[in-house]
Chains A and B, each alone.
Chain A
Amino acid sequence: MTDIYKSLVEIIGEEHVSNQKEERYFYGRDPGLTPPHEPDYVVMPETSEEVQQIVKLANREKIPIVPKGGGLALTGLVIPQKGGIVIDMKRMAKILEVNETSRYVIVEGGVTHGMLQNYLKKHHPKLRHSIPDSPAIATVVGNAVIHGQGRLTQQYGFNSDMVSGLEVVLPTGEICRIGSHSISSQDWFSKGAPWPDLSGLFLGWFGTTGIITKLGLRLYPCKKIRDVMVFLTDKIELVPDIILKLTHTEMTEDIVVNEQPLPPRFKGNIYILIIITGDSDEELDFKRKIIWDALWDLFESRDGGFLSVPADMKPPLLEMPSRDVVRFADVRKGGGFEYSGPIIPLEKYPEFIAKQKELVSKYNLSYAATSRVIAGGHCMMYAFAFTFNRADPDEMDRIRKALREAAQFTVAQGGMMWKPTIEEQEMIMEKMDPNTLKIMKKIKALLDPNGIMNPGNWEAQ
């Protein structure tokens, strides 16, 4: 019988392997509502080769593996449902290369969004990446793997759309290069097109088909100035049209739509945050005018208007990542926050807000409704976000019920649940076209014949 602990120590050294209760406790949980499941081991490799050896060992011994970045999806995706080995990727923290001409960066599997942002500001100030609002410790790979969204998503799509290549350790232990660099070891400018896009075998699969050890990410022009405009309306039904008008201008960076009852200044209104960027005041002035003109009809009818944001209120709105997002977890003085963030077409926004208010009233909850526009308005992410007190089991239970109902509603509306919990994955697979589901099953079986990769996830019955 193999001494797994010893084998792991031989691969990465004693300092970076733990089978202690404390690590197992912490890594068996996330800040959301998913019940805990503890791993048997937590390991922190530093190289792709170390990852490869761990995967081979796991395959031989049939031990589950769960790769983990920041663990901030909040939907339990890195909680090891069947124990095994949690691989904390954050020691693989090198930023390997920035190609300024083709505008991409290559990062290792554990590079955090915070460090990437800092690195670019310092060394490549004309380039930026699409940073999400999850805390800075969230990893670039983790965020891509769950199809996260960030500040550039309105312009360029999901953060996973911005991937430009992968290095993956397959569940059977091979290391694969995906994308343009599969033939040229240097160029990471495309994740697949114009060939069969194999990145789709890994992005969105929550680690069930392999471990991404390196990732190429597109970078975008970083303008010198960022500013924010805030448009208010009290008519929910106008929101899709407002977004259409704004996105038509092609003048905006991020567009985020917020609705929440507290603090009092938010009550009764929808706040639309519009970020604009430019290299000069003239450029920004021009963009502001175009955006004003786009919404002039609503302004004239008094149904909506631009709030003059005083200078001291701009920094929190412009901050990247936005720390206000995590403060939501303390509204109930209890450190808890989970949300269901379905991807929906714009025109469904009013129905989703209505559903949220219904759930809030039914279950007596504190909430915020945040939505981010994706890819010029082809869809948006709507967040049924609830905050809870971790010391109040009854409140946690009510939110679980509310989120379940929200998920059922989403499915009924044809929305796509984002970073779905295991329960939500089951709802999705139940409704999915059976032939489509068959492909997913086939892919999983092919790539992970022993079923060791993050088991419990995307397991079609």
Chain B
Amino acid sequence: MTDYTKQIHRCFRCGYCKFPSDYSDFNCPSYARFRFDTYSTSGRLWLIYAWLKGEIEWSEHLAEILYSCTACKNCVEQCPMKFSSDIVDWIVAARSDMMEKEKGRIPPAVTSFLEDVYRLGNPLKERGKRDAWADGIKRYQPGDEYLFYVGCLGSYDEYGQRMARSVARLLGEAGISFGILGNEENCCGNEVYLLGENELFGMLVEKNVQKFKELGVKKIVTLSPHAYNAIKNNYPPVSNAYFEVYHYTQLLRGLLRENKIKPSQYKAKVTYHDPCFLGRYNQIYDEPREILQSIPGIELVEMERSRENSFCCGGGSGNFVTDLLGGSKESPSRIRVREAYETGANILAVACPSCMTMLQDAVKVEELEDKLAVKDISQIAAESL
């Protein structure tokens, strides 16, 4: 990790981190929620620097401010400075330091998240079998082309499971050779990494990589962009092992182009929400759109804030469990759902089980259930077959 202690004072608190490129609205999820400047990236960076200098002491409020960042990277995208690409890394590094130095004093919801991952292998407090959803889906055998990495939400969350089933169905339809790890799958660790728990992250990487190697896995396709990001970007520096990793939308786009999947008419007006870990983290913006546009009958409309300006659903950095940004009409997921509704779309398409769960809940709270359906791209594609 970068040595943030020597760099973090460079923030000028200019505030560009609060906005998207066109300044249409506030684009930092925690700032949009709480509106004190302290909850924006510049606030966090100045407070971390103050903590390092001993000008402020650790407190519950400081912890809350630090962990309410979803690591969506809007600030990385917008910061005009040369160090912009490092900003979220600095916050993660500071969290890591804080875990060590302020043990026991991080937000209880975060502690609970990490403990559950450690003890149960998932942050959702689920004790049941990880593959209970996966009737009839093949377990990965050496020689299979792809390991389909499902993840915690895909395994345990009701909406995530539906997504996992539709991806499996599509892969099956296209004749792709794949399998899942089932009960042998472990949490990918993306949120653990972002929350700064390095030791636990290291353990998860080791376990997962060992399993992959045992089975001779070369190619991995993930349900979640979080897992995609972790395995692609954060595993190699720790494990030195390299796997070809794809998000399912990358494969699905190829399958459609090669006519291995033949969707039929699906009349809908759809708007697509770019997930942070596909979009800003990995510059995957076109594949999901191409998938939607290749399904006959779909009219794709864009939200005002899309692609690199997408407004985070508020689920990142474990917030889909810890919910540090909930409880207000200014919660990011509710803001996003209202924005989607304004496009006139009747489907809000997602490509991430974390976005799915956040936005599904928000649609209910906003009382838009009859007007706006939240569906994963794989579900739309599967339904169109």
A residues lining the B interface (CB < 8 Å)? 15-16, 18, 20-23, 25-27, 29, 31, 42, 44, 70-72, 88, 90-91, 112, 114-115, 117-118, 121-122, 135-137, 323-324, 326-327, 329-330, 333-337, 389-391
Contact = CB atoms under 8 A, between A and B. Distances in A.
A22 B12 contact: no
A394 to B, nearest CB: 15
State the main secondary structure of chain B at its contact with A.
Answer: loop
Contact of A44 (B11, B12, B22, B36): B36
A68 B12 CA distance: 17
B80 A327 contact: yes
B12 A326 contact: yes
B43 interface: yes
Given A22-B61, A25-B55, A118-B23, A136 B15 contact: yes
A442 B57 CA distance: 44
B35 interface: yes
A26 B45 CA distance: 10
A136 B47 contact: no
A333 B10 contact: yes
B12 A337 contact: yes
Contacts of A26: 36-38, 43, 46-47
A25 B14 contact: no
A16 B34 CA distance: 8
9 contacts: A16-B35, A21-B57, A22-B65, A115-B24, A118-B22, A137-B15, A335-B13, A336-B12, A389-B9
Contact of A137 (B14, B34, B35, B43): B14
Interface residues of B, number: 35
A137 B62 contact: no
The winner among A26, A88, A91, A334 for most chain B CB atoms within 10 A is A26
B103 interface: no
A15 B61 CA distance: 13
B233 interface: no
Nearest to A328: B12
A330 B82 contact: yes
Contacts of A115: 23-25
A207 to B, nearest CB: 17
Given A330-B10, A334-B9, A135 B16 contact: yes
Nearest to A327: B80
B43 A90 contact: no
Contact of B19 (A16, A18, A42, A114): A114
Contacts of A337: 12
A82 to B, nearest CB: 21
A20 B12 contact: no
Nearest to A329: B12
B14 A329 contact: yes
B59 interface: yes
A20 B61 contact: yes
B36 A88 contact: yes
B80 A326 contact: yes
B73 interface: no
Interface in B1-27: 9-16, 18-19, 22-25
